[in-house]
Chain A
Amino acid sequence: MRLLKTLIPGDIAAGLMLTGKYFGKVFFSANRKKVRAHLKHFTQEYPEIPVRLAPRFRGRLTLLKDEQGEIKCVCCLACEKICPTQVITIEKGKMEGRKMPYPVRYDFEMERCIFCEFCVESCGFDSIILNHQFELAAYNREDFSLGMEGLGQNMFAPSPVGKYSVAED
């Protein structure tokens, strides 16, 4: 029995069958359809087609607004305290007709952010998230200082694509 097992390398054949099966699957599906769901391989052809990210992907920090278009943040400063690299700076303020405090300034220096998502977890008001933006490279240091004002570095924009992104064109 042992001899037969030695003579006929069944495990090698099984391994070859497995890789052969995958080869066939990918070979016959790789170029046929453009729809991702039909593709059998895991390669993402990134610059040409947008990447599919996992839902829990941690991208750039974003401030959220509620249905009335008001900033959800209430300046409890929990995120500022917990941030290990201390890149969040919040200035409290008051607004007419609003009981809760209102952030006059909410600065975020992305150059030192480590995308740990502690800030989002500590926020009891669900007023910030890390969005799915990952093309964050820029040529100037100033481009990494995000705030509540400004066009390119606006904290509210849902997912502004990076300034020098490939996916832009």
Chain B
Amino acid sequence: MPPMTLLQTIAMGLIQIVAVLIVVFIMVPLLTFAERKVIGYAQVRLGATRTAGGRKGFTASLNRGMWAMGKVPVLSFFRGLPVFVADAVKLITKEDIIPAKADRAVFTLAPILSVVAAFGVFSAIAYYPGVMFYMPKSWPLIGGLPFNGAIADVNVGLLFILGLASVGVYGIVLGAWASNSKYPLLGGLRSAAQIVSYEVPLTLSLLPAVILAGTLNFKDMSVILSTGQGMSPLAVIPLFIGFFIYTTCGFAETNRVPFDLPEAETELVAGFHTEYSGMKFGFFYLAEYANMIVVSCLATAFFFGGYYLLPFGLQRIIPASVPFLGHPSFLFFMAKVSLLLFVFIWVRATLPRYRYDQLMDVGWKYLIPLSLVNLFIAAVIRYAF
């Protein structure tokens, strides 16, 4: 194949960016809907089954029709789905209030920073090792070009991702500061302390994966860690422990229950986004859910088997000659990401919020020593076996 011209590179890049953005923008509303439903089911109720509207309205008619037919399985799970359209319309059309004494520039910058950091990470994530498919030959300019599994195959992908992800906290802290109000400020301070503490075990929990894989490239790491090539079978242990440490820290990084102290509504009204409304609040909201997806993607890729069927480097049990199950697949990746997102919501439906000192205890006294021990185990396994 001849090397791509600059124009072709830009065109392919744009196509990939748009494709990823579309997937994310579909996943985020679905996630909010799934959140209502899963929490509802876990609490022995049905969750959203209808959207606001008169009894002559769309969802009401839908409901009546379903009951008239007897319930239709599958379709009936999605009765509350129009809620997310209503959510989006509400966020977009709502009045955008900026408090009079707020720092206008920073106040506007903060949600943008949050959302850019969250979405920027998606550029370095590989959704499939290598080329996903080729563009049809007949298309002008981009005909026959490969559609890669990642937008940018960065050599130090992991560093890029961790760096960009920690920029997200600036959005929260700056937004909290610029609001010029007590509660957001307290929420922002908490968030800063929390994310600074949890960044340490988060990174430490990823180090065993780096040691075992011997590379920082996202795609290579994922493939090596899940197929277990060149790794001792004992490598399952540090990966298994690392997975739990990483997901726990992921909950803290994304400000999710049980670590959602920055927005603890019993103490802080709504935390850092108390003064935000309209689409600015929507950006924070979007960033939180995008961050959830990012954390799930990373946990999937490094610990949960990436594009292969079995997690924790157990894929070597299935030889590559087995059709479908033995090969990497985009579907496996998406299924695992969805599973982890479900776990996020499941945990939210189960656990209450930690107290602030408990949160710090968990971070410093428990997760950091554990991840150091895990790092040691990984190093021993790497060099002794």
- B366 & A6 in contact (Cβ 8 Å cutoff): yes
Q: Does A15 reach chain B (CB closer than 8 Å)? A: yes
Q: Does A10 reach chain B (CB closer than 8 Å)? A: no
Within 8 A of B (CB), among A1-51: 6-7, 12, 15-16, 18-20, 22-23, 25-27, 30-34, 40-43, 45, 47-49
Q: Does A166 reach chain B (CB closer than 8 Å)? A: yes
The residue on A at minimum CB distance from B49 is A45
Residues of A within 8 A of B44 (CB): 22, 25-26, 40-42
Give me 12 A-to-B residue pairs in the complex whose CB atoms sit less than 8 angstroms apart, sorted by A's number.
Answer: A12-B350, A15-B350, A16-B350, A22-B44, A23-B41, A31-B74, A32-B71, A33-B71, A41-B46, A43-B49, A45-B63, A166-B55
Please indicate which of the listed interface residues A7, A20, A23, A41 has the most CB atoms of chain B within 10 Å of its own CB: A23
Q: Interface residue tally of chain B, by bracket?
A: 20 to 34
The residue on A at minimum CB distance from B71 is A31
The residue on A at minimum CB distance from B66 is A48
Please indicate which of the listed interface residues B38, B42, B349 has the most CB atoms of chain A within 10 Å of its own CB: B42
The binding surface of chain B is classed by DSSP as: helix
Q: How far is the CB of B34 from chain A (nearest CB, A)?
A: 12
Cα distance, A10 to B74, chains bound together (Å): 34
Residues of A within 8 A of B77 (CB): 30-31
Residues of B within 8 A of A32 (CB): 71, 73
- B346 & A23 in contact (Cβ 8 Å cutoff): yes
Q: Given that A6-B366, A22-B41, A45-B63 are known contacts, is A30 also in contact with B76, CB under 8 Å in the complex?
A: yes
- A41 & B45 in contact (Cβ 8 Å cutoff): yes
Residues of B within 8 A of A43 (CB): 40, 45-46, 49
Q: What 3 pairs between A and B have smallest CB-CB spacing? A: A43-B46, A31-B76, A19-B42
- A19 & B46 in contact (Cβ 8 Å cutoff): no
Residues of A within 8 A of B64 (CB): 47-48
B 128-148 binary contact with A (CB < 8 Å = 1; else 0): 000000000000000000000
Residues of A within 8 A of B351 (CB): 12, 15
Q: Does B370 reach chain A (CB closer than 8 Å)? A: yes
The residue on B at minimum CB distance from A18 is B350
Residues of B within 8 A of A19 (CB): 42-43, 346, 349-350
